[in-house]
Amino acid sequence: MGVLKKKGFTEVLMLISNFLEVEKKIVILNDEHQLIGTLDEFKAFSKGLKVDFPELRKIIYEFEEEINQPITSIDVYNYFRKLTNGFKVEEVKITLREMYVFKDMVLEERLLELARNEYLKNNWTIPTYTKTGKLGTNEFEDVRQMIAKVFPFHGSLFYEAIGLLKHKLKEENENKSTGNHQITTSRQFISDPKKYTAKHYVLAYLFECNASGVRFPRGIKSKLESEGNQRMGAGKGNRFYKAFNEITSFDLNVESNLKIIGGDHWREAIIQLSKDPETVEEYLQSKGL
């Protein structure tokens, strides 16, 4: 379990969700000066000082050491395997409930606060969505999209852990052959190429890159358009490029984001469109997707 071995559950959640990077801390300098802020705010404050405060430098150093502990996917897997006694169903369910409480009440509340500040500071248009109910249609802030734009890859290990636990529940409740059966059934359902969008092709490409450890050419329009022309057909590269720019603002370790991008059958679509479906399938399973 590496660095997670002797840590408590809440501490682990804070580490793997990168919450410590955005958490406000209170420190006292020289027993009289109180500072409240995040690591970045402490750094900015320190740089602006005309007088050196060794105590502040020490606090920043210790803060960075705490945040930058090397944690791998294997560490996360081993920690949650031990926590849930080998992924026993009831233990997994309890752990997931606690993680969702942390996500909704602690992590995303803080990220949304910071995201709103960034939107206001940069004068960005706040994204919204409409919902129709018995009392009519109402407009709401799209908080997920706001957080995804400001913190696109924040807490990837946290969401990976949620995906892992959800996947273990599926394994317990479904026949071992269900995965292959779902792929076959869904391929029949979505076999019509007209049902695929540029976003489906981009998702297939991104997961191929992630599965094989290849860095995708972010910002290199010519390469992305060339990739799009190969996958979607001549003259469609620009659509692929635009979809790529839109999709990469989402955290692709979160299943709800993938449904927003590719619909309920996003998974089957990318397996169908992938040039290396077996590798992508193994990668998705390893991520609990």
29-60: per-residue pLDDT in tens? 666 667 777 777 777 777 777 767 777 777 77
Distances (CA, A) of 23 to 37, 100, 108, 115, 157: 8, 18, 12, 14, 17
Q: Check residue 214 and give its pLDDT.
A: 74
Q: CB of 71 within 8 A of CB of 65?
A: no
CA distance 221 to 229: 12
CB atoms within 10 A of CB 145: 18
Mean pLDDT, rounded, for 171-192:
52
CA distance 140 to 146: 12
25-29 and 33-37 as β-strands: parallel, antiparallel, unpaired?
antiparallel
| Domain residue ranges in the chain | 2-150, 175-286
91-123: per-residue pLDDT in tens? 999 999 999 999 988 998 889 988 998 999 999
Which position has the token pair 């635009």? 242
Is the pLDDT higher at 183 or at 173? 173
CA distance 112 to 80: 27
Rg over CA atoms, the chain: 22
Residue 12 makes CB contacts below 8 A (sequence gap 6+) with 4, 79
pLDDT at 80 over 90: yes
